[in-house]
Structure 1
Amino acid sequence: MSHHTFDKPGLTLLGLGAMGTALARAWLTAGHPLTVWNRTPGRAEPLAAEGATVARTAAEAVAANRLVVVCLLDGASVDAVLADADLTGKDLVDLTTGTPDRARAHAALVHERGARFLDGGIMAVPPMIGAPSSGAYVFYSGSRALFDTHREALTRPAGARYVGEDAGFAALHDVALLSAMTGMFAGVSHAFALIRKENIGPTAFAPLLADWLVAMSGSVHLTAAQLADGDYTREVASNLAMQVAGSATLLRTAEDQGVRSELLTPYLALLERLLADGRGDEGTTGVVDLLVR
């Protein structure tokens, strides 16, 4: 058994899945007294050997510390686990992945039960937790006072970025980044499909693709600037008219290579709508307005 000298504030962690276990180890390593609870008790045994206190019930775990961190499967699990706990005077941090509206509703419920609330969106996979050089961080939103009170503990497993008093903003930032990533992965899949049947090695092509995506990623700053000032024609190098004309080549090449084009067509259809609206001298920023209902 390892012996920690606990000179830091204690906290409680509910949920010891892969992410919860990684968080627990980071806090134990940093010298925070930790009380843990998991629905399946076996998950807690290795952590007990590393110095964690294992609570018999979720309510008992909540009672042990002011700071209570929850990292469970979904919102319904959180509600069930906290049902019998007394949250009066507690600082509850929910790191369970969910939607912005769910976080706002949860914040309201928790406030009614006498606790402060912070919602978190973890931008990392478990192996990145507790590794300072990994670049892992967590978006937090909700009570600024709670965040400031427990900042030291919250920044142990990963970096912390506070994004606002609105409890839904952490989840919204999380999902917005993941959504952009999803679109990028779609484009990457299409690119590899185009060369798949040719004598072009994917490992030789990959560095070209990665460098190109990094170079193109800078365009988000121009999109943001255009959205901020409303001038969608500023600094446009390749306007909509040119892009729509070029899209025919993208679709024709996919056809010729025997590659399905459905990952590209929804986006290209939006560009065509903008062009039809007489906005050919703009860039692609108008797509944002088409998407917002």
Structure 2
Amino acid sequence: MKARAFSYLRARTVEEALTAHAEAGDDARFIAGGQSLVPTLSLRLQAPKLLIDITHIPELRGVGREGETLRIGALTRHCEIMTEPLIGEFAPLLRAAAPFVAHPAIRNRGTLGGSIALADPAAEFPAMVLALNAEIEIAGRSGARRVKADDFFVDLFETALAPGELVTAVHVPLFKDHQRIAFDELARRRGDYALVGCGMIATCDKVRIETIRIAFFAVGNVPIRAKHAEAVLIGHALDAARIAAAQAALDHDLAPPESDEVASAMRLHLARVLLGRLLGRIGEGA
């Protein structure tokens, strides 16, 4: 199939993009990397009358420190997350996840902002910004605002973005020397959607966990923090018994839906396996 006919606008500023969207209303879509939008256009699952190209807006580009956070522009491509030195130094969990995103052709075009705005529950980056306690920077006709990742992902492909709003950047707290990260996912083949994936960041006092944030993806309608498992771990050393207790606590955190591909019980079992594997890495100083 081919996409329905549409008009095209290359926006030069955020304000121009927002104004064009407001004038077109529900008949407009923003496009950057297009790795999710273009297939839906081709299948006619979406048929907007106007595409607003935001790829040439300077405000949406760049990575830089702002106080105690790292601001990552929404147009930062997945491949750039793998190579940008500031991300490697101050947001290494994003770099750890990036090689698992689809295939090189996708990573060369897909953008961080697009992944966050789409909020695919099986995608890596939405879950990682949740694990990192990041803030999503949003622009709208009424001005700019920030939303905590904990509050951004609402339901299946539903976010805190209001109609016509645009993700402009992600703000990530700077990685510290006494923190540790771990990431992995289980998939049938590299590049396939994960059967289950997980990323975490922990603040450690030698062998004791002071704080930890654990986020799973591909186990529900949104990326999910394992808050019960986190509570089991905080204040304790990562011995085998403590890791087993955290794995058991996932029964209260995750309720994967049934699917033809993987049964809910199997996905929960894989989540426990993955959690144990990653906590082992944290305990080893990952």
Identify, as 1 or 2, the structure richer in helix: 1
TM-score tier after normalising by the smaller chain length: under 0.3
Structure of larger gyration radius? 1
User: Quick one: higher RCO (CA 8 Å, sep 6+), 1 or 2?
Assistant: 2
Taking structure 2 as the reference length, what is the TM-score of the superposition? 0.25
Taking structure 1 as the reference length, what is the TM-score of the superposition? 0.25
Identify, as 1 or 2, the structure richer in strand: 2
